[in-house]
Structure 1
Amino acid sequence: MNPLPPSAVEADELGALDDSTAPTTPEGSLTFSPPLRPQDDAAYLNLGSRANSPPLSSALSDAAARASPVRNICCVGAGFVGGPTAAVIAFHNPDIRVTVVDRDEKRIRRWNSRHPPIYEPGLNDILRIARDGSRECVVASSPTNCDAAVSSRDDEAAGASEGHPGRLITVAARQPNLVFTTDVAKCVSEADVVLIAVNTPTKSRGNGAGSATDMAAFEAVTAVVAQHASPGTIIVEKSTLALYQPGVHFEVLSNPEFLAAGTAVKDLLHADRILIGSSDTASGHRAAAALASVYASWIPRSRIITTHVFSSELAKLVANSMLAQRISSINSIAAVCDATGADVDEVAGAIGADPRIGGKFLRAGIGFGGSCFKKDVLSLVYLAETLVLPEVASYWRAVIEMNEFARNRFVSRVVKCLNNTLAGKKVTVLGYAFKKDTNDTRESPALDIIRALEEEGPREIAVFDPLCIPAQMADEIGRFAGPGALQSNGGPVAVYADVYAACWGADAVLITTEFDEFRNAPVAAPNADARPADPRPFARAEPHETDLLALQSYLRLSQPSATPSGLDSGPDAEDPLNRFHPMPPCPEDCPDCRAERVTGSAGYGASKEHVAKSRVDWSKVYYHMNRPHWVFDGRGVLDIAGMEKIGFRVESVGRRSRMAMMV
Structure 2
Amino acid sequence: MIPLSTTLPEVEENVTLDASTAPTTPEGSGSFSPVLRPFDDSTQLTPKTRNNSRSLSSTLFDTTARTPPVRNICCVGAGYVGGPTAAVIAFQNPHIQVNVVDRDEKRIRRWNSQHPPIYEPGLNDILRIARDGARECAVESAPTKSEENKDPASISSRKSNLFFTTDVARCISEADVVLIAVNTPTKSRGSGAGSATDMAAFEAVTAVVAQHARPGAIIVEKSTVPCRTAKLVEDTLSLYRPGVHFEVLSNPEFLAAGTAIKDLLHADRILIGSRNSPSGYRAAGALASVYASWIPRSRIITTNVFSSELAKLVANSMLAQRISSINSIAAVCDATGADVDEVASAIGADPRIGSKFLKAGIGFGGSCFKKDVLSLVYLAETLILPEVADYWRAVITMNEYSRNRFVHRVVKCLNNTLAGKKVTVLGYAFKKDTNDTRESPALDIIRTLEEEGPREIAIFDPCCIPAQMTDEIRRFVGPSVLQGNGGPVAVYADAYSACNESDAVLITTEFDEFAYVLNPKGEADLTIPVRAKARLPDPRPFAQAEPTETELLALQTYLMQEAEDPAAIPEDPLDRLNPVPACSEDCPDCQVEKATGKTGYGASKEHVPKNRVDWKKIYCHMRKPHWVFDGRGVLDIAGMERIGFKVQSVGRHSRAQ
TM-score, length basis structure 1: 0.89
After TM superposition, list the pairs within 5 Å mapping 1:536-575 onto structure 2: 536-560=540-564, 562-563=565-566, 568-569=567-568, 573-575=570-572
The structure-2 alpha-carbon separation of the partners of 1:410 and 1:286, relative to structure 1 and needing over 3 Å to count, comes to same
Q: Is the 8 A contact 1:59 1:285 kept in 2?
A: no
Aligned mates of 1:262, 1:63 — CA distance in 2:
39
Aligned mates of 1:409, 1:452 — CA distance in 2:
11
Matched, 1:479 2:478: no
RMSD, matched Cα:
2.2
For 2:487, the equivalent position in structure 1 comes to 491
For 1:225, the equivalent position in structure 2 comes to 209
RCO higher in structure (CA 8 A, sep ≥6)? 1
The structure-2 alpha-carbon separation of the partners of 1:22 and 1:54, relative to structure 1 and needing over 3 Å to count, comes to closer
SS at 1:580's partner residue? coil
CA offsets per residue over residues 270-326 of structure 1, 9 Å max, x none?
A: 000000000000110010000000000000111000100011011101100000000
After TM superposition, list the pairs within 5 Å mapping 1:573-612 onto structure 2: 573-604=570-601, 606-609=603-606
Aligned mates of 2:654, 2:33 — CA distance in 1:
61
Aligned mates of 2:11, 2:85 — CA distance in 1:
17
Question: Is 163-172 or 318-327 further displaced after alignment?
Answer: 163-172
CA offsets per residue over residues 549-586 of structure 1, 9 Å max, x none?
A: 101111111123x31xxxx436xx02100110011111
CA offsets per residue over residues 226-250 of structure 1, 9 Å max, x none?
A: 0000110000022122122222221
After TM superposition, list the pairs within 5 Å mapping 1:38-57 onto structure 2: 38-40=25-27, 45-47=29-31, 53-57=51-55
C-alpha deviation, 1:49, in angstroms: 11
User: Which among 193, 196, 207 is matched to residue 191 of structure 2?
Assistant: 207
For 2:339, the equivalent position in structure 1 comes to 343
For 1:381, the equivalent position in structure 2 comes to 377
SS at 1:581's partner residue? coil
Whichever residue aligns with residue 123 of structure 1, its letter is L
For 2:128, the equivalent position in structure 1 comes to 128
C-alpha deviation, 1:144, in angstroms: 2.1
C-alpha deviation, 1:39, in angstroms: 4.9
Q: For structure 2, which runs of at least 5 residues remain unmatched after alignment?
A: 1-9, 35-47, 222-229, 518-523
The structure-2 alpha-carbon separation of the partners of 1:69 and 1:578, relative to structure 1 and needing over 3 Å to count, comes to same
For 1:283, the equivalent position in structure 2 comes to 279
Q: Is the 8 A contact 1:22 1:468 kept in 2?
A: no
User: Which among 612, 618, 628 is matched to residue 621 of structure 1?
Assistant: 618
Q: Is the 8 A contact 1:633 1:653 kept in 2?
A: yes
CA offsets per residue over residues 516-554 of structure 1, 9 Å max, x none?
A: 110121336969997320001112232111110101111
Q: Is the 8 A contact 2:252 2:312 kept in 1?
A: yes
Matched, 1:25 2:14: yes
After TM superposition, list the pairs within 5 Å mapping 1:455-466 onto structure 2: 455-466=451-462
Matched, 1:167 2:151: yes
Aligned mates of 1:173, 1:213 — CA distance in 2:
45
Q: Is the 8 A contact 1:23 1:442 kept in 2?
A: no
Q: Is the 8 A contact 2:33 2:303 kept in 1?
A: no
Matched, 1:197 2:181: yes
For 2:464, the equivalent position in structure 1 comes to 468
After TM superposition, list the pairs within 5 Å mapping 1:195-594 onto structure 2: 195-237=179-221, 238=230, 239=233, 240=235, 241-521=237-517, 522-523=524-525, 531-560=535-564, 562-563=565-566, 568-569=567-568, 573-594=570-591
User: Which among 153, 166, 187 is matched to residue 182 of structure 1?
Assistant: 166
Aligned mates of 2:59, 2:119 — CA distance in 1:
35
For 2:24, the equivalent position in structure 1 comes to 37
For 1:648, the equivalent position in structure 2 comes to 645
Q: Is the 8 A contact 1:234 1:253 kept in 2?
A: yes
For 2:5, the equivalent position in structure 1 comes to none
Work out the percentage of aligned pairs sharing the same amino acid.
75
Matched, 1:71 2:58: no
Aligned residues: 609
Matched, 1:94 2:94: yes
The structure-2 alpha-carbon separation of the partners of 1:618 and 1:35, relative to structure 1 and needing over 3 Å to count, comes to farther
The structure-2 alpha-carbon separation of the partners of 1:82 and 1:470, relative to structure 1 and needing over 3 Å to count, comes to same
C-alpha deviation, 1:54, in angstroms: 4.9
TM-score, length basis structure 2: 0.89
Q: Is the 8 A contact 1:429 1:509 kept in 2?
A: yes
Q: Is the 8 A contact 2:11 2:102 kept in 1?
A: no
Q: Is the 8 A contact 1:517 1:612 kept in 2?
A: no
Aligned mates of 1:659, 1:47 — CA distance in 2:
60
For 2:627, the equivalent position in structure 1 comes to 630
